[in-house]
Amino acid sequence: MRDAFSNTLVALAKADPNVLLLTGDHGYALFDAFRRECPKQYINAGIAEQNMVGMAAGLARAGFRPFVYGLAAFIPVRVIEQIKLDVAHDHLPVIFIGDGAGFVYSHLGTSHQSTEDIACTRAIPNLAIYSPADRFEVSASMKAAYESRNPSYIRLGKSDRGDAHESELTTLSGSLLSIREAGDAKVAIIATGSMVKTALNLVDEGFIQASVWSAPTIKPIELEQVVKICKSNDAIITMEEHSVLGGLGSLIAEIASEFAPLKILRIGVKDRFSHHCGTYEYLLKEHELDTDSVKAQIHRFIQAD
Partner 1 sequence: MTNQTKLFDPKVLRKTVLEMAYAGSTVHIGCAFSIIEILAVLYRQYLRYPENEPLNAARDYLVLSKGHGVMAQYACMRELGWLPEEAFTQYFADGSDLKGLSDSRIPGLEVTSGSLGHGFSVGVGLALGAKLRGTDQKTYAIVGDGELNEGPIWEGALFSAHHQLKNFMTIVDENGFQAMGPTDEILNLGSIEEKFASFGFETITVDGHDELAIDEGVSKLWASKSNAPKALIAKTIKGKGVSFMEGDNIWHYTRLSEDSYQQALQEVRDEKK
List interacting residues with partner 1 (CB under 8 A): 20, 40, 43, 45-46, 48, 50-64, 81-82, 85-86, 89-90
Shortest approach of partner 1 to residue 92 CB, angstroms?
9
Q: Over the Cα atoms of the chain, what is R_g?
A: 19
Q: Which is nearer to partner 1, 149 or 275 (CB)?
A: 149
Other C-beta atoms closer than 10 Å to the C-beta of 293 total 15
Using alpha carbons, select from 170, 203, 206 the residue that is nearest to residue 189.
203
Residue of 118, 125, 177 whose CA lies nearest to 153: 118
- Please, which residue, 40 or 276, has the CB nearer to partner 1? 40
- Distance in Å, CB of 60 to partner 1, minimum: 8
How far is 222 from 6, CA to CA, in rounded Å? 28
In this complex, which beta carbon is closest to partner 1, that of residue 54 or of residue 174? 54
**Least Cβ distance, residue 21 to partner 1 (angstroms):** 13
Q: Judged by CB, which is closer to partner 1: 58, or 220? A: 58
DSSP for 99-132 reads: ESTBTTSTTT-GGG-BSSHHHHHHTSTT-EEE--
Respond yes or no on whether the N-terminal peptide bond of residue 66 is cis (omega within 30° of 0).
Answer: no
CB 101 within 8 A of CB 119: no
**Nearest to partner 1 of 45, 221 (CB atom):** 45
Asked if residues 239 and 269 have their Cβ atoms less than 8 Å apart, the reply is no
Rounded to the nearest whole angstrom, what is the least distance from the CB of residue 64 to partner 1 in the complex? 6
3-class DSSP state for residue 67?
strand
Q: What is the nearest approach in angstroms of partner 1 to the Cβ of residue 148?
A: 20
**Closest separation in Å from C-beta 296 to partner 1:** 45
Q: What is the DSSP code (8-state) at residue 209? A: -
Which H/E stretch holds residue 44? strand 42-44
Least CB distance to partner 1 at residue 147 (A): 22
H or E stretch including 232? none
User: Looking at beta carbons only, is 64 or 130 nearer to partner 1?
Assistant: 64
**What's the CA gap between 268 and 294, in Å, rounded?**
9
For strand 211-214 and strand 187-191, is the pairing parallel, antiparallel, or unpaired? parallel
* Nearer to partner 1 among residue 15 and residue 62 (C-beta): 62
